[in-house]
Amino acid sequence: MKTSLEILHVSAECYPVAKAGGLGDVVGSLPRFQQELGHKARVVMPMYRTPYLYAHDWEVVHKSSSNLGHWWFDYTVIREKSNAQGFELFLLDINGLLDRDKVYGYDDDTERFCAFQIAVAHWMNSWDVLPNVVHVHDHHAALLPFIMQHAYAYKRLQYIPTILTIHNAQYQGAFGWEKTLYIPQWDSWKRGLLEWKGTINPLASGIKCAWKVTTVSNSYLGELRHMSNGLEPLFEYEKGKCSGILNGIDYKVWNPQNDKYLDEHFSLVDADAGKKKNKNIICDRFGLDPQKPLFIFIGRLVGEKGADLLPGMIVDSFKFIGRKMNFLVLGNGESETEHQLSQLNSIAKSDYNVYIGYNETLSHLMYAAADFIIMPSRVEPCGLNQLYAMRYGTIPVVRNTGGLRDTVIDMGETNGYGITFNNASVGDITHGIYRAVGIYNQKEIFRSIRQKIMELDFSWHRSAEEYVSLYQTFQ
Ligand code: ADP
Ligand code: GLC
């Protein structure tokens, strides 16, 4: 058995190069833990024009050209010279497609990510020594298993084991058969491996073709068989090759003792005082009352996260529980929710504020300052916010779903430490807030729960080993 593996991760995001959500965090940290386990982990991602690109030194490792249907393009692969992230990081550039400021949200995302995957296959095909495993993340990279196995030009790659990790099955990247030329020439008998419900569906194709499929928590895997945006029968059919591996968190980035985004650091021994200082900073900045418990929400303002329930929850909490708490929301997304949250400022009395936008620094300060984090997610494949929050002594108030179910035990249960509720409804969340305010006022209990959550171990070590064990089943 081979002991040291060469692993190539293919992803649209990788923190700190480019991050739109938790996918970036995972791909920015898992490879480093795999390196620490003695393997060689590499990441390849599109070369967006983000600040990281300009702040680091790069060398060109490969230049060539390939095609997306009839459109020929040149591509370049560069490598970060110092391995600053603890693993080899490659950026792949295609002028006109990948040279953008943002990761997603463009009309030509289908073309961008198809061309990216073709270029990755093309580049890999030129390697003298092929990787032992190609690990693809989400639909932006999920066509690669098909391309590697069935495109005539890449026959050399067909025996490389592939693993698909699904961070979010809501997004599948489907496009019409009129774009069939976007897939490098393939045996048309294999059409069924690309298709789902009349379209080319990259995520479905990845589930069919990857040697193994993982989801980022066990509970989420179970839920996908009943609710996966149309892929339910596929998850049922392919369940034999699917498993759940919970995400970890990167304590080098997420550690209240040395977090580079914080001015006031703290640890388990001085958590009360340290959090109080951060709370004062944030309450001062957002006009909130530091005497009251601070509830935060951080995330994409989309239905999946239950963000549309926040305005109702805030209004009802003030109405039924009283003005006994502060709410601070950080996020961006659906314009209606953004608008409603902004409008709420008109009823605030030093107890509510919102920051519409993406702000990494502010998010760290909020985890450090808050007493509670609210996550009313309708769907939560893993969820990292609750893990970061707990590390920073902030108690989670979460819906019982997906990764939230696997990481938060209600304080009413044996060894519990969070507050959970079952329905994504204003009533259920407001009841959770009512319970939280009660706990906040019982200082000893509150303090002991804070200590307990800060000590929980959600580090990557166990999960990184689980991935490696999975890879080893291929060798
Ligand atoms: P998802 O990937 O579905 O958005 P996760 O809980 O896995 O959810 O990860 C979200 C990540 O993105 C966390 O690191 C969180 O702090 C961060 N995040 C989300 N929205 C914002 C925002 N508006 N500003 C700063 N960080 C954000
Ligand atoms: C996705 C999920 C989130 C998960 C993240 C990282 O964006 O929505 O729950 O934590 O990926 O795996």
Question: pLDDT tens across 393-445, in order?
Answer: 999 999 999 999 999 999 999 999 999 999 999 999 999 999 999 999 999 99
Asked if 302 and 318 sit in the same domain, the reply is yes
453-470, pLDDT tens digit by residue? 999 999 999 999 999 999
> Which residues does residue 330 pair with via DSSP β-bridges, in sequence order?
298, 355
Q: Is the pLDDT of residue 2 over 80?
A: no
Asked if 467 and 447 sit in the same domain, the reply is no
Distance of alpha carbon 444 from alpha carbon 459, whole angstroms: 27
Is 212 a domain residue? yes
Residue 217's CB: how many other CB atoms inside 10 A?
A: 24
Under a CB-based contact definition with an 8 Å cutoff, are residues 144 and 162 in contact?
yes
Question: What is the whole-number distance in angstroms between the Cα of residue 345 and the centre of ligand 1?
Answer: 23
Distance of alpha carbon 104 from alpha carbon 306, whole angstroms: 21
Asked if 373 and 445 sit in the same domain, the reply is yes
Is 257 a domain residue? no
- In this structure, what token pair is assigned to residue 225? 């068989």
pTM of the model: 0.95
Is 364 a domain residue? yes
- Mutation test residue for ligand 1: of 384, 390, 401, the one with most atoms within 8 Å of CB: 384
Distances from the Cα of 272 to the Cα of 50, 277, 350, 448, 451, angstroms: 37, 9, 22, 11, 9
pLDDT at 83: 96
Q: Across the chain, which distance is largest between two alpha carbons, in Å? A: 68
Asked if 231 and 310 sit in the same domain, the reply is no
254-282, pLDDT tens digit by residue? 999 999 999 999 999 999 999 999 999 99
Asked if 210 and 313 sit in the same domain, the reply is no
Q: Report the nearest-CA residue for atom 27 of ligand 1.
A: 299
Asked if 167 and 273 sit in the same domain, the reply is no
212-234, pLDDT tens digit by residue? 999 999 999 999 999 999 999 99
| Dihedrals phi, psi of 342, to nearest 5 degrees | -70, -40
Q: Is residue 216 lining ligand 1, measured as CB closer than 6 Å?
A: no
Per-residue confidence band for 475, with pLDDT thresholds at 50, 70 and 90: confident
Residue-by-residue DSSP string for 364-396: HHHHHH-SEEEE--S--SS-SHHHHHHHTT-EE
In percent, the amount of the chain with pLDDT more than 70 equals 100
Q: Is the pLDDT of residue 283 over 70?
A: yes
Is 133 a domain residue? yes
Residues 6+ apart with CB under 8 A from 374: 295, 296, 297, 310, 313, 397, 398, 429, 432, 433
Domain that holds residue 151: 6-248+461-472
Asked if 227 and 292 sit in the same domain, the reply is no
Asked if 447 and 467 sit in the same domain, the reply is no
Asked if 206 and 296 sit in the same domain, the reply is no
297-340, pLDDT tens digit by residue? 999 999 999 999 999 999 999 999 999 999 999 999 999 999 99
Q: Give, as one character, the DSSP assignment of residue 106.
A: -
Asked if 228 and 286 sit in the same domain, the reply is no
Under a CB-based contact definition with an 8 Å cutoff, are residues 469 and 38 in contact?
no
Distance of alpha carbon 57 from alpha carbon 55, whole angstroms: 7
Q: Is the pLDDT of residue 3 over 90?
A: no
Alpha helices in 37-182 (DSSP H): 51-55, 109-125, 144-150
Q: Report the nearest-CA residue for atom 18 of ligand 1.
A: 299
Asked if 36 and 155 sit in the same domain, the reply is yes
pLDDT at 326: 98
Under a CB-based contact definition with an 8 Å cutoff, are residues 224 and 169 in contact?
yes
Question: What is the whole-number distance in angstroms between the Cα of residue 20 and the centre of ligand 1?
Answer: 7
Q: In the predicted model, what is the mean pLDDT of the chain? A: 97
Is 262 a domain residue? no
Q: Residue 369 maps to which CATH number?
A: 3.40.50.2000
Q: Is residue 171 lining ligand 1, measured as CB closer than 6 Å?
A: no
Is 374 a domain residue? yes
Under a CB-based contact definition with an 8 Å cutoff, are residues 58 and 84 in contact?
no
Number of folded domains that form the chain = 2
Is 23 a domain residue? yes
Length of the chain: 475
Q: Is residue 384 lining ligand 2, measured as CB closer than 6 Å?
A: yes
Asked if 220 and 364 sit in the same domain, the reply is no
Is 1 a domain residue? no
Question: What is the whole-number distance in angstroms between the Cα of residue 151 and the centre of ligand 1?
Answer: 36
Q: Is residue 300 lining ligand 1, measured as CB closer than 6 Å?
A: yes
Q: Is residue 383 lining ligand 1, measured as CB closer than 6 Å?
A: yes
- In this structure, what token pair is assigned to residue 81? 């010279």
**Cβ density class 412-425: b for 16+ within 10 Å, e for less:** eeeeebbbbbeebb
pLDDT at 285: 98
